[in-house]
Structure 1
Amino acid sequence: MRTYRYRLFGLCVESDHRLQAPMTLAPPEATPELHFRCALGTQPPAPPDLLYASPEHNRLGESVVQLYAMPHGVLMRFPRVADFRLSPGEIDCRLADPDLAFMIDICLLGHVMAYYLELSGVAALHAGAVAWGGQAVLFAADRTGGKSTLVASAVAAGLALLADDIAALELRGGAVWCRPGFPQMKLTPEQAQRFAGGAEGFGLVHPSFAKLNVPAERVGSLATAPLPLARIYLVERRAEAADASVSIEPVAPGEALIQLVRHSFLAELLDGHAAHPGFGETGSLHAQRFHRLAALARAVAVRRLCYPSGYQHLPAVHAAVRADLAAPGAP
């Protein structure tokens, strides 16, 4: 059976399934750290130990994401779509409907990998990140906060993409490092037109949504190695008005911790169960995650970045970030 090797969130992943998203290939000599396997099969009855059920439901009234405890890991179920069994070093997928094969990428590169990272002691934030002067700079925002536009504009301006939607952060000896994700960006047709030179030829992220899967190379370059994290910016884009100013303000550590918790990629899911442990760790995943985020808030400067809506203001935003990174005392 043919296998594929990818670099994904700092891991060498060996897979018997070819992912459709653009991926960074791992060198042949790399040792696999995670094995991903996928097969067709019906979903068996749910295990008894339900950890979490999302408040969003499908047309049959089923929670669209369900999480169950298993003897040696967890089962993440997307009803009538796929099951993903997660255990240390392994993710096994059972696809329920071959017509939904496009959902493998969506599930694996989103919820499944974010949860695997958290179980492995790596924080997965809902944020974009770019390489800026040999360091990582992270932009976190709510869904309409302008994160995608800001990250795409920075990459188009010459910075390298580290992460588009999930920023994987780990602590190393008191410093925080950002792992590279995969070379794809989710852009609206308008964003693709502006930053990728056109919106034609890109597939939809999901048939029900307008965003497009755009290879990062169509926008700019990609960073392929972990980088030390210099800043976390909490992005707030205000409605375009007469005030065209850009402001960057420090965030106190206590507030920074609250915001990091809120911007976790799986914040609701991770808060939905407190007792289940991570891989090879003692205590609850909830407690482990809180201490991990508290350490991140202490180790990295968090800033609130406010700017007006409108593409014409983005160069001023870039300049403000550049000045903040160059300020005395900056890492």
Structure 2
Amino acid sequence: MSHRYLIFGQRVSTERRFRTPMTSVAPSGEPDLRFDCRVVCHAASLAADACLYASPDKNHYGESAVQLYAVADGYVMRFPRVADFTLTPGHIDCQLRDPALDYMVEVCLLGHVFSCYLELSGITALHAGAVEVDGRAVLFAADRTGGKSTLVTSLVEAGFALLADDISALTITAQGARCLHGFPQLKMTPEQARRFVTGEQDYPLVHPAFTKLSVPLQALGRAQTEPLPVAAIYLLAREREAGPDARTQIMPVPASEAVMHLARHSFLWHLLETQRGGRAFAPGAAQSAAADLRIDRFMRLSRIAAQVPVRHLHYPSGYQWLPDVHQAIVDDVTTL
């Protein structure tokens, strides 16, 4: 049975029924992307000189956990001993090594693989959450301890519609930058789930090796599925030692500095900055004639930084401060 999902603004057709909460779309018209997955026990041979990127992170066998190869008509993203994903314009094909690892298909696809596909297609994938504020998209990017997950979850609980939980896809149009809907899931720690979700629920782990839970958005709030103009991108800095006089501070970031921040908060910034000779997909053109991926990406980041205000958001740590942070964000957005 064929399914149609809306994932990062792409209408995806697939035989796979996703375990991850998804936004379904009507099966009419041509899809933007086809996803196929099958079990292939033996990995295809890939030339060593075709490797554009090998992650510094290793698996249990000492192999780079994520590898990117150039092939004749596109790219192969390899997760050794797990799966190969072949990316070509309009198609992602997964070759899974072991049926017992089927749970890894969506972990890989909805993170590294889709982010790479978006970047190759001229869509910027930022490691950021996004919600709707007054009809516009507001993005939140942070380092690991910056509080992005807690802030986005609290905004959704407060009634703001979710566009993206962890990866925000931005496209450039004649009217400016637009943020695309991801999928209706929130990744929460068990503590966050106890704090924000009413009732005891046995939510599945996003990945068996990590503690974060996959919580369907309907348990907490609502989704915004239409692309929205981007009002602002906030770079989060959570102050852990907050005194009684603590307050939220918002400061503008110059556009020249903003480009560097956006590059650093790209979901695949290590891969995108270090891979050699990569070519972006070009509709209607041969792969060899497509634009250099690094140049194309830098130009997109520059346009986003020129069109969208990027702001430092310093705020005190603690659930009790979140309503004040929400109000400061709303007040700031109304001035932009």
For the Cα contact (< 8 Å) 1:16–1:37, is it kept in 2?
yes
Residue by residue over 1:275-328, the C-alpha shift from the partner in whole angstroms, topping out at 9 and shown as x without a partner, is 21110163310111011000000000111000011000100100101111122x
Q: 2:30 corresponds to which residue?
A: 31
Does 2:128 align with 1:120? no
Q: Specify which of 328, 333, 336 is matched with residue 325 of structure 1.
A: 333
Task: Name which of 232, 237, 255 aligns with 2:257.
Answer: 255
Q: State the one-letter code of the partner of 1:325.
A: V
Which of these residues, 271, 274, 285, is aligned with residue 273 of structure 2? Answer: 271
Contact 1:123–1:292 (CA under 8 A) maintained in structure 2: yes
1:45 CA displacement: 2.3
Q: In the TM superposition, what is the alpha-carbon distance from 1:17 to its structure 2 partner?
A: 1.4
- Mean Cα deviation higher: 189-198 or 305-314: 189-198
Q: 5 Å matches for 1:140-179?
A: 140-179=141-180
- State the match for 1:45 in structure 2: 45
TM-superposed deviation, 1:217: 1.0
Contact 1:240–1:310 (Cα < 8 Å) also in 2: no
Identity percentage of aligned residues: 52
| Letter paired with 1:309 | S
Counterpart contact for 2:53–2:276, Cα < 8 Å: no
Structure 2 unaligned spans of 5+: 283-288
Contact 1:128 1:139 in 2 (8 A): yes
When residues 57 and 228 of structure 1 are mapped into structure 2, their CA distance, relative to the original with a 3 A threshold, is: same
The alignment partner of 1:222 has SS state of coil
TM-score, normalising length from structure 2? Answer: 0.95
Distance 1:127 1:186 in 2: 13
Match of 2:294 among 286, 296, 317: 286
Paired residue secondary structure (2:281):
coil
| Alpha-carbon distance, 1:198 to partner | 4.6
1:286 and 1:140 mapped to 2: Cα distance? Answer: 21
In structure 2, distance between residues paired with 1:316 and 1:50: 48
Residue identity matched to 2:104? M
Q: What displacement does 1:274 show?
A: 3.7
1:34 aligned partner, one-letter code: L
What does the per-residue CA deviation read over 1:178-222, in whole Å, with 9 as the maximum and x for residues that have no partner?
000000011001111111225631000111111000001111111
Secondary structure in structure 1 of the residue aligned to 2:333: helix
Cα offset, 1:267, TM superposition = 0.2
Q: Which amino acid aligns with 2:130?
A: A
CA distance in 2, matches of 1:46, 1:62: 15
Q: 2:18 is matched with which residue?
A: 19
Asked whether the 8 Å contact 1:127–1:263 carries over to 2, the reply is yes
* TM-aligned CA deviation for residue 237 of structure 1: 0.6
Superposed CA deviations along residues 248-277 of structure 1, whole A, max 9, x for unmatched, are: 000011111110000000000111214211
Distance 1:58 1:172 in 2: 40
Which amino acid is 2:270 matched to?
E
Unaligned ranges ≥5, structure 1? none
How many angstroms does 1:83 deviate by? 0.5
> 1:155 is matched by which residue type in structure 2?
V
Q: CA RMSD in A?
A: 1.1
* Preserved CA contact (<8 Å) 1:274 1:284: no
Q: Are 1:298 and 2:299 counterparts?
A: no
Give the residue type in structure 2 aligned to 1:25: S
Summarize the alignment of residues 181-220 of structure 1 with structure 2, pairs less than 5 Å apart: 181-198=182-199, 200-220=201-221
Taking the TM superposition and a 5 Å limit, the aligned residue runs for 1:88-107 are 88-107=89-108
CA distance in 1, matches of 2:241, 2:317: 5
SS in 2 for 1:303: strand
Secondary structure of the corresponding residue to residue 5 of structure 1: strand
Residue equivalent to 2:285: none
The number of aligned residues is 327
In structure 1, distance between residues paired with 2:179 and 2:249: 25
1:31 Cα offset (Å): 2.1
Alignment of 1:58-69 (within 5 A): 58-69=59-70
- Structure 2 CA distance for aligned equivalents of residues 224 and 323 of structure 1: 24
For the Cα contact (< 8 Å) 2:154–2:196, is it kept in 1?
Answer: yes
Q: Please tell me whether the aligned partners of residues 189 and 199 of structure 1 are also in contact (alpha carbons under 8 angstroms).
A: no
| Amino acid aligned to 2:298 | F
Q: CA deviation at 1:44?
A: 2.0
